[in-house]
Structure 1
Amino acid sequence: MPTNAAIELGLQKALSEYREWAGRLGEDEKGDPVIFLNDKGVKFVEASVDCKLDQLMPLKPSPVLLRLHPSLKDVEELVQVQLTSNFLVAWGKASRCLDMSPLPLHDRTIFNPRKPPNFEFEHRGAEFKSKKLLKDYPNNYADSFVDDIVVHKVHFTLDFLSKLKARASPPSNNGNNLQNKPYSTFESLVAHLWRAITKARGLSGFETTHVRISVNGRMRMSPRVPTEYFGNSVLWAFPRARVKDLLREPLPYAAKLIHEAIAKVNNSYFKSFIDFATHKAEKEEDLVPTAEMNKSVLCPNLEVDSWLRFPFYDLDFGGEVLIYSRHLIFQQKE
Structure 2
Amino acid sequence: MVILKATSHIVKPAEPTLEEVMYLSDCDQIKPLTHAPTIYFYKPSSSYKSLQEIVQILKDSLSKALVKFYPLAGRLHWTDGGRVELHCNSMGALLIEAESDLTINDFGDFCPSPEIRSLIPSVDYSVTPIQEAPLLVAQITKLKCGGICFGAGLSHIVVDGQSAVHFVSEWAKIARGSAPLVDDHPFLDRRVLQQNDTLKHDLKKYDDFFPSPLLLGQSDNLEERKKKTKPMVLKLNKEQIESLRSKATLGLLSEGLMEPRNNPVGRPQVSRFEVVCAHIWKCISLARGLQPEQETVLFVSVDFRNRISPPLPARYFGNAVLALPVSSTVDELLSNPASYTARKIRTVVDSVTDEYVKSYLGCIKSIPNIANKRHFHTVGCAQGSFLGNPNLIITSWAGLLPLLYGANFGWGDEFYMGPGSLGYDGRVFLIPSHNGDGSFIIPLRLQVEHADAFEKYFYENI
- Asked if Structure 1 and Structure 2 have the same fold, meaning a TM-score greater than 0.5 normalized by the shorter chain, the answer is yes
Show the counterpart of 1:22: 73
- The residue correspondences of 1:123-272 to structure 2 (distance < 5 A) are 123-126=205-208, 148-169=228-249, 170-171=252-253, 174=256, 181-272=268-359
Q: Distance in 2 between matches of 1:182 and 1:23?
A: 45
Q: Distance in 2 between matches of 1:58 and 1:236?
A: 31
Counterpart check, 1:64 vs 2:144: no
Q: Which amino acid aligns with 1:36?
A: H
Q: Distance in 1 between matches of 2:303 and 2:203?
A: 18
Q: Which one of the candidate residues 53, 77, 80 is aligned to 2:134? A: 77
Q: Distance in 2 between matches of 1:320 and 1:77?
A: 28
Contact 1:302 1:331 in 2 (8 A): no
Q: Distance in 2 between matches of 1:110 and 1:98?
A: 31
Q: Which one of the candidate residues 193, 200, 211 is aligned to 1:118? A: 200
Q: Distance in 2 between matches of 1:258 and 1:332?
A: 22
Q: Which one of the candidate residues 383, 386, 396 is aligned to 1:306? A: 396
Q: Distance in 2 between matches of 1:23 and 1:11?
A: 14
1:119 is paired with a residue whose SS is coil
Contact 2:308 2:354 in 1 (8 A): yes
1:182 is paired with a residue whose SS is coil
Contact 2:245 2:272 in 1 (8 A): yes
How far is the alpha carbon of 1:66 from its aligned partner?
4.5
Deviations 1:255-302 (A, max 9, x none): 122111222222221122233444x33xx3588545564476221111
2:269 is paired with a residue whose SS is coil
Show the counterpart of 1:133: none
Q: Distance in 2 between matches of 1:214 and 1:175?
A: 24
Show the counterpart of 2:407: 315
Deviations 1:76-127 (A, max 9, x none): 1112424842110111012123344311111112112146313225142145
Contact 1:24 1:36 in 2 (8 A): yes
Show the counterpart of 1:13: 64
Q: Which moved more, 1:184-193 or 1:196-205?
A: 196-205
Show the counterpart of 1:105: 187
- Extract unaligned runs of 5+ from structure 1: 130-135
Q: Which amino acid aligns with 2:412?
A: E
Check 1:206–1:14 CA distance in 2 against 1; reply closer, same or farther (3 A cut).
same
1:300 is paired with a residue whose SS is coil
Q: Which amino acid aligns with 2:359?
A: S
Q: Distance in 2 between matches of 1:329 and 1:60?
A: 9
Q: TM-score, normalised by structure 1?
A: 0.82
2:85 is paired with a residue whose SS is strand
Identity %: 24
Q: Which amino acid aligns with 2:253?
A: P
Contact 1:214 1:236 in 2 (8 A): yes
1:91 is paired with a residue whose SS is helix
Counterpart check, 1:42 vs 2:82: no
Contact 1:104 1:228 in 2 (8 A): yes
How far is the alpha carbon of 1:149 from its aligned partner?
3.0
Q: Distance in 2 between matches of 1:296 and 1:47?
A: 36
Q: Which amino acid aligns with 1:113?
A: Q
1:118 is paired with a residue whose SS is coil
How far is the alpha carbon of 1:71 from its aligned partner?
2.3
Q: Distance in 2 between matches of 1:246 and 1:175?
A: 17
Contact 2:231 2:446 in 1 (8 A): no
Q: Distance in 2 between matches of 1:30 and 1:287?
A: 7
Check 1:320–1:70 CA distance in 2 against 1; reply closer, same or farther (3 A cut).
same
Q: Distance in 2 between matches of 1:30 and 1:204?
A: 39
Check 1:189–1:27 CA distance in 2 against 1; reply closer, same or farther (3 A cut).
same
Q: Which amino acid aligns with 1:313?
A: Y
How far is the alpha carbon of 1:247 from its aligned partner?
0.7
1:105 is paired with a residue whose SS is coil
2:136 is paired with a residue whose SS is coil
